[in-house]
Amino acid sequence: MELKDKLISSFLAFEEACDVDSDIHNLRCEAIKEFETMGFPSKKQEAWKYTSLNSVLKYDYSVFPKKEDAIEYRDIKKYLIHDIDTYNLIFIDGIFSSHLSQTTHDKIDVCLMSSAMAKPKYKGIIDQYFNKIVSKENGFNSLNTAFAREGAFIHIPKNIAANKPVQIINFATGNESALMIQPRNLIVVEENAQIQIIERHQSLTDHPVLTNSVTEIFAAKRATVDYYKIQNDRPSASLIDNTFIDQKDDSNCSMHTFSFGGKLTRNNLNFYQRGEHIDSTLKGITIIEDKQHVDHNTLVHHIFPNCESHQDYKGIFAEKSTGVFNGKIVVEKEAQKINAFQSNNNILLDDSATINSKPQLEIFADDVKCSHGCTIGQLDEDSLFYLRSRGIPLKEAKALLMYAFANNVLESVKIPEIKKRITHQIALKLGVSLGFDL
Amino acid sequence: MLKIKDLHATIEDKEILKGINLEINAGEVHAIMGPNGSGKSTLSSVIAGKEEFEMTQGEIVFEGEDLTELDPEERAHRGIFLSFQYPVEIPGVSVTNFMKASINAHRKSQGQDDMPANEMLKLIREKSELLEIDRKFLSRSLNQGFSGGEKKRNEIFQMAMLNPKLAILDETDSGLDIDALKVVAKGVNKLRSADNAVLLITHYQRLLDYIIPDVVHVMVDGQIVKSGGKELAHELEERGYDWLRPENAI
Ligand SMILES: Nc1ncnc2c1ncn2[C@@H]1O[C@H](COP(=O)(O)OP(=O)(O)OP(=O)(O)O)[C@@H](O)[C@H]1O
Ligand SMILES: [Mg+2]
């Protein structure tokens, strides 16, 4: 059976375990119909022109994994930022693991979507925010909504800065020969509140995994959200990440995406600026090789005046890897005095690597500063010679230049441990010791 | 120390070096002067191992070893240092980290472990003081936004850190004010010993007042057309190069 048909028929079984009388379930039912009509995106659609899903959709994924709790902290410790104190929401094959997680309801809520959906206390928030900004542009979003049941639920009330970051980590154990997971996260940050979030998807074996994740983030007036996605999965795991961020006046949201692994990764990242004096930051470092594919599809929608957006994506592509950057900026007619900056710089290490980079600017206002630039190049020969003349061997010299190339993206990372981990990861990726601590 | 015999080098099939002969012994300072485009930087790049240039004839022997097949980094490990006429800007790597990478790469090639952090710090402090380099400078990206003079001073700082056997200084004096020139000269003179040698490329005899050469060579159109003592530099300053061009030679 095709994956699409399998999913549609699985929905009936899924319903049996749901509260079918809830409002959410109505949304699910609508969503499965949408998915039935739309199906999965195909290369015929402009937005998916350079990303073929054939190699990902061909597996017979199981949709309802058996409950399996055999994972111990020591098995997963290395995937966590463990040298600082954090709240942890850990999911194993899509199922929440209470013994590996650390949740809270003290001043802030860091807990599970399933329990938030079930408790009357959260009904107000769910009604107000759930599924309000998810686009229906591709079937993945509707599919996720249809099966929405588990994921992270984070609520930071007015004037509160969360006392520590939250890590949301989805592990796939490989107990199933092929597994599809659909996390659904809702993050509501009220007026003048602050939160830092780290998200990761990690497969523990080489069995195929497909994750279709949807995250909605609401940043109210003067709220600050710093979000870090660490994508360094095994070559058998693919990720379709759909993230929607709604910002109000004077809010500040940043998203850093570090893509170092996985088979196919598609990041659909959407920022909606619904207020004035908003700052949005979208940054990414991609370093991949060997038939890996990373596609960044960003949208920044400037709806109100006096706002800024900063996009800076760096990519390094080795042997046969492929990258896509599709950055869309829309500035509405009323959105005057916008400063929208976008840059996408790429290094191809090999003739067999490719990158397709396309900015898309739709600007209807006239008083707008909008700059965008895209470069695709190789490492600079004169720089290499300079480094080598100082005794730095070719391989290290290349690595040093690549590190230097990607480095400025890290400047805006606010959690030092992440910066450390990522720089270390970059050095590992480049396969060298650079002779100094990164 | 360095023996260059009948060296010919081309780039994109254009011959730039047309039979260079040069011998530099340990303890000596040589200067090369010559008009723009005569091949001085090309010669220094070829000695340092730049691959864009093709050596078509001749040989370069350093301490008894033929350099032809060696990579630039291997030549550096053997003690050859080139102070660039146009140092490259590397955004994203600090001067300090660059120096650590360089020193530790040298040590690794000698089978040694990384230099302990405190030793490294001490060395950096000592050499930056010698060259009167501000500490803030060391955490800036390598050469990025450095003024012309700062770049040159930074090159000599690197030289002082690496303590090479043969230092080739390609127009390190160009763009330096008189105070900076003295500082750079101090750095170079500090390096001089019976075991080291320096090859200075310059357009101005001014530098040679501070770093006194044993031999001055004149390079014209890819060849060394005349060699002499330090008084030759004065003569060049007065007479220019025209009298030395092959077509004018008697
Ligand atoms: N990469 C290159 N491609 C083509 N020609 C080159 C290249 N590098 C050098 N040349 C040519 O080789 C010749 C010698 O250049 P070189 O830089 O060695 O001169 P120079 O003596 O150092 O001059 P200056 O005093 O101006 O520094 C010049 O004609 C120059 O144009
Ligand atoms: Mg020159």
- The 3 state secondary structure assigned to B17-59 is EEEEEEEECCCCEEEEECCCCCCHHHHHHHHHCCCCCEEEEEE
Confidence at residue A68, expressed as pLDDT on a 0 to 100 scale: 65
Whether residue A436 lies inside any domain: the answer is no
Asked if residue A171 belongs to a domain, the reply is yes
Contact yes or no for B48 and A389 at CB 8 A:
yes
Q: Which ligand is nearest to the CA of B34?
A: 1
Cα distances from A160 to residues A91, A249, B123, in angstroms, run 26, 17, 48
Q: Which residue of A has its CA nearest to B159?
A: A390
- 10 Å CB burial of residue A33 (0-12, 13-18, 19+) is middle
Residues B121/B96, Cβ–Cβ less than 8 Å: no
Look over chain B and give the mean of its residue pLDDT values, rounded to a whole number: 93
The phi, psi pair for B167, rounded to 5°, reads: -105, 125
CA dihedral A401, A406, A407, A409 (to 10 degrees): 160
- pLDDT at position B241 over 90: no
What's the whole-number mean pLDDT along residues A221-247? 97
Structure letter (DSSP) for residue A62: B
CB A358 within 8 A of CB A388: no
The structural domain count of chain A equals: 1
Tokens of B119: 């030793």
Q: What integer pLDDT is reported at residue B44 of this predicted model?
A: 97
In a domain, A288, yes or no: yes
Q: What confidence score (pLDDT) does residue A425 get?
A: 82
Task: Look at residue B107 and tell me if it is in a domain.
Answer: yes
User: Six-digit token pair at A168?
Assistant: 């949301």
- When divided into structural domains, chain B yields a total of 1
Mean pLDDT of the A189-214 span? 97
Does the distance separating the beta carbons of A386 and B100 come in below 8 Å?
no
Q: Which residues of B touch A382 (CB under 8 A)?
A: 88
- Residue A293 maps to a domain: yes
Residue A216: its H or E element: strand A209-219
Sign of the CA dihedral running A56, A269, A185, A412: positive
- Tell me: the pLDDT tens digits for A259-314? 999 999 999 999 999 999 999 999 999 999 999 999 999 999 999 999 999 999 99
Which tokens in the block code for residue A48? 């998916």
- Nearest residue of B to residue A382, measured between CA atoms: B88
Tell me, what's the pLDDT at B57? 95
Considering only CB atoms, A436 lies closest to which of B49, B91, B100, namely: B100
**Share of residues in chain A with pLDDT > 90 (%):** 84
> d(Cα B40, Cα A117) in Å, to the nearest integer?
76
Picking from A382, A388, A406, the nearest residue to B73 by CB comes out as A388
Torsions phi, psi of A218, nearest 5? -120, 120
For β-strands A308-317 and A279-288, DSSP reports them as parallel
Position A18 scores a pLDDT of 85
A289: containing domain: 3-430
Question: pLDDT tens-digit profile of A51-84?
Answer: 999 999 999 999 887 776 678 899 899 999 988 9
Residue A29 included in any domain? yes
What secondary structure letter does DSSP report for A236? T
Is the CB–ligand 1 distance for residue B118 below 6 Å?
A: no
Instruction: Tell me the C-alpha to C-alpha distance, in Å, between residue B105 and each of A385, A388, A394, A395, B189.
Output: 15, 10, 11, 12, 25
Is the pLDDT score of B250 beyond 60? no
Q: Indicate yes or no: CB of A435 within 8 angstroms of CB of B48.
A: no
Residue A438 binned pLDDT confidence (cut-offs 50, 70, 90): very low
Q: Is the pLDDT of residue B16 over 90?
A: yes
Q: Would you say the CB of residue B11 lies under 6 angstroms from ligand 1?
A: yes
In chain B, the residue whose alpha carbon lies closest to the alpha carbon of A381 is B52
**Residue having the nearest C-alpha atom to atom 3 of ligand 1:** B11
Residue to mutate among A343, A388, A407, A422, with most B CBs inside 10 A, is A388
CA of residue A79 relative to chain centroid, distance:
16
Q: Considering only CB atoms, which chain B residues are within 8 Å of A432?
A: none
Q: What is the pLDDT of residue A430?
A: 77
pLDDT at A424: 83
Q: Is A281 a domain residue?
A: yes
ipTM over the 0.90 cut-off: yes
CA atoms within 13 A on the CB side of B220: 15
| Distance separating alpha carbons of residues B250 and B245, to the nearest angstrom | 10
Contact A408 B98 (CB under 8 A): no
Identify the contact set of chain A against chain B, taking CB-CB distances under 8 A.
Answer: 380-383, 385-394, 396-397, 400-401, 403-408, 434-436
Distances (CA, A) of B117 to A322, B106, B120: 40, 16, 5
Is residue A87 classed exposed, middle or buried when 0-12, 13-18 and 19+ CB atoms within 10 A define those classes? Answer: buried
- Does B181 reach chain A within 8 Å, measured CB to CB? no
Residue A434, pLDDT above cutoff 90: no
pLDDT surpasses 70 at A437: no
Average the pLDDT over B146-166 and give the result: 95
**Mean pLDDT throughout A127-140?**
95
In the predicted structure, residue B196 carries a pLDDT above the cut 70: yes
Tell me if A437 is assigned to some domain: no
- The chain-wide mean pLDDT, for chain A, equals 94
Q: Which of B41, B83, B200 to mutate to test the pocket of ligand 1 (most atoms within 8 A of CB)?
A: B41
Residue B94 makes CB contacts below 8 A (sequence gap 6+) with B138, B139, B140, B141, B142
Average pLDDT over residues A28-40: 96
CB of B104 within 8 Å of any CB in chain A? yes
Residues of chain B neighbouring A404 (CB-CB closer than 8 A): 90-93, 141
Tens digits of residue pLDDT in A373-391: 999 998 999 999 999 999 9
**Which domain CATH number covers B198?**
3.40.50.300
Q: Answer yes or no: is B27 within a domain.
A: yes
The parent domain of residue B56 ranges over: 2-244
Q: Compute the Cα dihedral for B224, B227, B232, B233 and give only its sign.
A: positive
- Is residue A58 one of the residues assigned to a domain? yes
